[in-house]
Amino acid sequence: MRQAGRYLPEYQALRKEAVTFLDLCYNAKLCAEATLQPIRRFTFDAAIIFSDILVVPDALGQEVRFIENEGPRLAPLMSERDIANLAPSRMAEHLRPVYDALRLVRTQLDRSTALIGFCGAPFTLASYMVGGGGPNNLSNARLYAKAHPERFATLLDLLAQVGADHLIAQVEAGADLVQVFDSWAGILDPDAFDRYGRAPMVTLVKRFRAACPKVPLIAFPKGHVASLERYVETVAPDALSVDWTVALGAIKSRFPGLVVQGNLDPLELIVGGESLERAVRKLLSEGGQSRFIVNLGHGVRPQTPIENVHKLVEIVRQNQTNMPKNLH
Ligand code: CP3
């Protein structure tokens, strides 16, 4: 999940060095630093490259802005022509700073700390690209998918290809594993999830695996549990990330061979105290000692007290007494 961000004073200081959030995302040195900040503080087992899923629509030529304290705004794609005008040929050059940032991080990161590359899943990216990112983003996106199913499918297919290519380039630049964020999968009904959430992920993962057969891939269809069997069977991720709306123990028994990642509610990190301790102990007991990656169910919120993140790490490490960091 997002582990860099405004809850860290050093991130707030770094953020001031770039004018816009996208400027920050295209400055390899600053991105490398933002990636390393949480690792220095908390000694997590893995670093996730500092970037954003929306650099992909930006690289394709769509207008993307981030409004401070509100979030992303995109000039929504409407017509067939808008979609045809997207330019995958610009991607590699435009995203070069992301790959430079990965190379820089790899030189500064201990070998025992894994480096995670990521991209947005086709559905989540498409929902921003046609929904525009504003307050009606998700209803706009669902409406667009129903009103123009073929156009929407064309867009998803394009995003599956470029998403895979972006992940492959990140691996070439030093990522040890990758994660695909489908943050809005949970808003889809089961049929739409099958068509718009699952199917393009099959395409993306196939293309990624053809180039990087040995690199682990984590899929995060956030908030969608109803039809996960077919998703896991056909997408075949190495690990499944889940949020707090699912019972971790139940997911582990539903998919006995699969690595599961999750699922602490980030709000527990704001509340802290006994509530946090209880939640982390429950997490550890349900996740067990194998095939489990301790994580949050979503990114760290800006108002999170730093000492609560330390507390989380401390409890988790106590629970893994005999394991050196690189064997977790
Ligand atoms: O820890 C890291 O270095 C990871 C970096 C990371 C960011 N975005 C940086 C960021 C990751 C993994 C993302 C993914 C991302 N971006 C997702 C998928 C995961 C999720 O959170 O659901 C999505 C949907 C986005 C799109 C996005 N970016 C939104 C909706 C927002 C605004 C909301 C907010 O929290 O401000 C962003 C901005 C953003 N991306 C910030 C960061 C650190 C906050 C901007 C800032 O504080 O300067």
pLDDT single digits (tens) 94-119: 999 999 999 999 999 999 999 999 99
Q: What is the pTM of this model?
A: 0.96
User: pLDDT by residue (tens digit) across 256-312?
Assistant: 989 999 999 999 999 999 999 999 999 999 999 899 999 999 999 999 999 999 999
Q: What is the pLDDT of residues 150-188, one digit of tens each?
A: 999 999 999 999 999 999 999 999 999 999 999 999 999
HEC-encoded secondary structure of the chain:
CCCCCCCCHHHHHHHCCCCCHHHHHCCHHHHHHHHHHHHHHHCCCEEECCCCCCHHHHHCCCCEEEECCCEEEECCCCCHHHHHCCCHHHHHHHCHHHHHHHHHHHHHCCCCCEEEEEEECHHHHHHHHHHCCCCCHHHHHHHHHHHCHHHHHHHHHHHHHHHHHHHHHHHHCCCCEEEEEECCHHHCCHHHHHHHHHHHHHHHHHHHHHHCCCCCEEEEECCCCCCHHHHHHHHCCCEEECCCCCCHHHHHHHCCCCEEEEEECHHHHHHCHHHHHHHHHHHHHHHCCCCEEEEECCCCCCCCCHHHHHHHHHHHHHCCCCCCHHHC
* Rounded distance from Cα 201 to ligand 1 centre (Å): 21
Point out the residues that are catalytic: 2, 6, 15, 52, 128
Atom of ligand 1 nearest to the CA of 15: 48
CA-nearest residue for atom 37, ligand 1, is 71
Would the CB of 5 count as within 6 Å of ligand 1? yes
The best mutation among 2, 44, 129 to test binding of ligand 1, ranked by most ligand atoms within 8 Å of the C-beta, falls on 2
